[in-house]
Structure 1
């Protein structure tokens, strides 16, 4: 997993539930506009990373294609085809994006974004793209999409974790967690040498450090399960998805 900021900064990745997604099939639904806004701002960055991986030297084209993809979803009524029985929403987006780009490659000239507008903060996305690519071999488009998707889901889970722990007066639990796992795999629990340093810093025992980390890690996994359940299709394994999120 790429670095996830534990200071609470970064893009917001609100939970998505199938009840919200299904309302996107009817533009007359009173919840259509807010749900559409949530969807676009939630998922545009994984789409951009997919396109950048496919076209690594064409930043302006990647920006245009990202915007055109969401325009296409609206113009063609693709969102009306959403159904939990067809699999996860992540899978739906990747399939739609793949076919969209095939169509674009077949076109003599891609259609320009509406009104020539720039809807998204592409500087932020490009910075995240370059950061993710540092020291990493060439990435397949679907892997780039999945990596950014997982990063966003994990970031949202960490923010929820922080909020819940602080509300319970467990600031020290979160502080120990953030310091121990910052820039490290969250599932890893082998750096026992750090326990002594943290124990001295917080004036507690190494056993306390281990207990804090166990409690927080279990809480984080519970939060992740709640998030991924909202976009998985029926029959898809929640534990597998959590492992997928933590492995990216």
Structure 2
């Protein structure tokens, strides 16, 4: 049974919170095409546009066409009710977005060429210079379009988590501390120079260890929260987490 159908008294607190995440808002809207659902979808697309752009570029399209394709895709996805066919029980934003893009490239782009991109509306603003700078750093021939999408998706998600954490630390006047400690999120714990970090931050080695422990714990929580924004049920969070780390390790 879906977590959305459980009696409220039997749903764990985390599941109740999960019910308000962005992708579940979109899934629940279905064919009703609510403004809330479109806004939630637009917010997700603004975050995760680059993996789609990279996919289109790896398919052989030049920078200008890739920007046009990506922009027109978002205009149609967000501006029109394309949500009715989403599997409301098993939908994942990552899978939905890539499948929708493939359908658009195969069936819709030729029809859209004669129409001004997205009419007069721009739903997701793309910085073509930034996009190409990022794409120029991608491996030249080692990844297929699907693989580059998956890897960029995983990295974009991690970037979102780090950006959110930095905002949290900045709000309490600890942005500099975060900048010093963030390397500890991926470094080898046994080789981390806690004493040196403490000297630079004006903290004891013990205080640094406590701060790193708290940062890692918040990082894990934030990572799951961000993943929850892109899957259809609480049960899918851990599975998606394993998938993302497998992509990054591959």
TM-score by length of 2: 0.71
Aligned length: 222
Could you give the per-residue CA deviations for residues 195-230 of structure 1, whole angstroms, max 9, x where no partner exists?
A: 332132224333433332221011011011112112
Alignment partners' CA distance in 1, 2:31 and 2:202: 55
Q: Is the 8 A contact 1:173 1:213 kept in 2?
A: no
Q: Secondary structure at the match of 2:22?
A: coil
Change (3 A) 1:207 1:75: closer
Specify which of 80, 84, 89 is matched with residue 93 of structure 2. 89
Please tell me whether residue 128 in structure 1 is matched to residue 162 in structure 2. no
Please tell me whether residue 48 in structure 1 is matched to residue 49 in structure 2. no
Q: Where does residue 151 of structure 1 map in the other structure?
A: 155
Q: Is the 8 A contact 2:25 2:40 kept in 1?
A: no
Q: Is the 8 A contact 1:157 1:224 kept in 2?
A: yes
Alignment partners' CA distance in 2, 1:74 and 1:204: 48
Q: Is the 8 A contact 2:67 2:128 kept in 1?
A: yes
Alignment partners' CA distance in 1, 2:78 and 2:196: 54
Q: Whose relative contact order is higher, 1 or 2, with alpha carbons under 8 Å and at least 6 apart?
A: 1
Root mean square deviation of aligned Cα: 3.3
Q: Give the 5 Å matches for 1:156-195.
A: 156-168=160-172, 170-171=174-175, 173-178=177-182, 180-181=183-184, 186-190=185-189, 192=191, 194-195=193-194
Q: Give the 5 Å matches for 1:1-248.
A: 16-23=22-29, 25-27=31-33, 29-31=34-36, 34-55=39-60, 58-73=62-77, 77-103=81-107, 109=110, 111-112=112-113, 114-116=115-117, 120-131=126-137, 133=138, 138-168=142-172, 170-171=174-175, 173-178=177-182, 180-181=183-184, 186-190=185-189, 192=191, 194-234=193-233, 236-245=235-244, 248=248
Q: Which structure 2 residue ranges, 5 or more long, are not aligned?
A: 1-20
Could you give the per-residue CA deviations for residues 153-199 of structure 1, whole angstroms, max 9, x where no partner exists?
A: 22222232223334456556524323x35xxxx33334625333213
Alignment partners' CA distance in 2, 1:74 and 1:230: 17
TM-score by length of 1: 0.71
Could you give the per-residue CA deviations for residues 36-73 of structure 1, whole angstroms, max 9, x where no partner exists?
A: 54244233222111111221x62222222223323453
Alignment partners' CA distance in 2, 1:50 and 1:113: 23
Q: Which structure 1 residue ranges, 5 or more long, are not aligned?
A: 1-14
Alignment partners' CA distance in 1, 2:181 and 2:243: 21
